[in-house]
Amino acid sequence: MANRLRRYIRLKKYKPDDKFKRYFEKHISVIDRIHEYGYKAYFIGGCVRDAVMDRTPADFDIASDAEPDEIKKMFANVKETGIAFGTVTVKTDNSSYEITTFRKESGYSDNRKPDIVTFSKSLYDDVKRRDFTINTLAYDKNHIFDYFNSYDDIKSKVIKTVGSPERRFTEDALRILRAVRFACTLDFNIDSKTLDNIIKYSYLLKSISKERIYSELSKIISKSRSLKILFDTGIAYQIFIYPQYINQGFLKEGSFECRLTHLFYHYPDLHMIIEELKNLKTDNKTADTLLEVLKYIDNDTDESSIRKLLTLISKSSISIILEFKEQSRVVLDKVISEGYITKANELAISGHDIMAMGYSRNSIKEIKNFLLNKVIYDISLNTKEKLEDIIKHTYNIPIVKQ
């Protein structure tokens, strides 16, 4: 056991090349500021990993031995975004930065969050609590610090837990899904011991909030070639109500909404999809769009059909249908540029105009619906004069006012 532990605390330091440094040029002033106050500060985790891989980082998280109250003294714009865990967010002209105090954690009674958080002065204490080796690299402007052979794992494209996989997954079960997400989005393989424990402990995902699960799942859907890994690991059977209908094949290239459509395409009815989306706590906008798309996915997409669809669903939903069918937007763009209407109150004639022609109030709805079905397919008819002509020729015996 002692030899195994020693293997994990053999610090390696790398001198970064200019290509790596370039990613941090606009952000280095933040850790410089912390250094000026006499504290340690490191870019940590994903941003360092991505820069090593020559990928532009999305976020620049920072770890420091300075505590939140001390960080507040250094910067003008600081928000307490995770103060219980030692995290504040600093906003500058360049970006926003989550700055977290070095910490130790213990006791994960809910399989998600630590019961006890203790601040530390040691970078090692902070990185050894993290999930995967690829997320433990730290950069202080001069060197990249590597306690867990992280650099080698990144180069070998392997996902491996920091220390015992069993311990890491029982501490925080969401790490099970995060491991899959990193494997999918980075195109990495999962270490065999780590994979065995993902399979063994996948049932713990039942204890994780659906919002957290959907957040990770969304990232997997956005980037993964397929969701087969969720079935190979047993995860799918913990997070979906009807996993047997989920598309396990290669997902279509394209937008998140298009890929989500492909994922649920084989469900036998919309009510089951609604149940699944509610279970996943999918946001209303995404759920509504998906249901619109799946309801009309098999409709024709010629010009007349698109004009009719525009009275039923949104432009963006039609665009997703075209993307899913791998069809051009040319016809949709043509319809949009020429103009279209979606409902009767967009007609160039009002109910008052119709009554002024001698028709009763009770006939307005019928007449306007008739006109709508004409104008849907020929927008050039939507002038008051032309609509009056259509009414006269169609309803040539005016209804006497009561």
What is the pLDDT, as a whole number, of residue 318?
98
pLDDT one-digit tens code per residue, 190-232: 999 999 999 999 999 999 999 999 999 999 999 999 999 999 9
Residues 6+ apart with CB under 8 A from 357: 388, 391, 392, 398
Q: Which two tokens stand for residue 192?
A: 């065999």
**pTM of the prediction?**
0.85
**Domain end (from 298, 321, 340):** 340
User: Is a pLDDT exceeding 80 seen at residue 282?
Assistant: yes
352-401 pLDDT, tens digit per residue, is 999 999 999 999 999 999 999 999 999 999 999 999 999 999 987 555 44
How far apart, in whole angstroms, are the C-alpha atoms of residue 339 and residue 353?
A: 23
232-237 own/partner pairs: CB under 8 Å, 24+ apart: 233/176, 233/180, 233/195, 233/198, 233/199, 233/202, 234/199, 234/202, 234/203, 235/176, 235/177, 235/180, 235/198, 235/202, 235/205, 237/202
Q: Are residues 16 and 140 in the same domain?
A: yes
As a whole number, mean pLDDT of residues 66-75 equals: 96
Last residue of a domain, one of 121, 156, 191: 156
pLDDT of 5 above 70: no
One domain, residues 15 and 89: yes
* Residue 399 domain flag: no
Same domain, 144 and 188: no
Average pLDDT estimate for 255-267: 97
Position 273 pLDDT exceeds 50: yes
Residue 268 has pLDDT above 80, yes or no: yes
Is residue 312 one of the residues assigned to a domain?
yes
CATH classification at residue 221: 1.10.110.30
Whether residue 19 lies inside any domain: the answer is yes
Q: What pLDDT, on a 0 to 100 scale, did the predictor assign at position 82?
A: 87
Q: What pLDDT score was predicted for residue 105?
A: 76
Res. 3 pLDDT band, cuts 50 70 90: very low
Range of the domain at 206: 157-238
Q: Is the same domain home to 70 and 132? A: yes
Does 106 score more than 90 pLDDT? no
Which of 126, 156, 186 corresponds to the end of one domain?
Answer: 156
pLDDT at 8 over 50: no
Residues 83 and 180 in one domain: no
Task: Supply the pLDDT for residue 402.
Answer: 41
Say whether both 112 and 142 belong to one domain. yes
Farthest CA pair distance, the chain: 100
What per-residue confidence (pLDDT) applies to 110? 57
Please give the pLDDT value at position 2.
43
- 311 within some domain: yes
Average pLDDT for residues 240-255, to the nearest whole number? 94
Per-residue pLDDT, 6: 47
CB contact at 8 A, 28 and 6: no
**Does 228 reside within a domain?**
yes
Beta strands in 141-283 (DSSP E): 144-146, 158-159, 189-190
Count of domains observed in the chain:
4
Phi-psi region of 78 (alpha: psi -120 to 50; beta: other; left: phi over 0): beta
Q: What is the pLDDT of residue 109?
A: 62
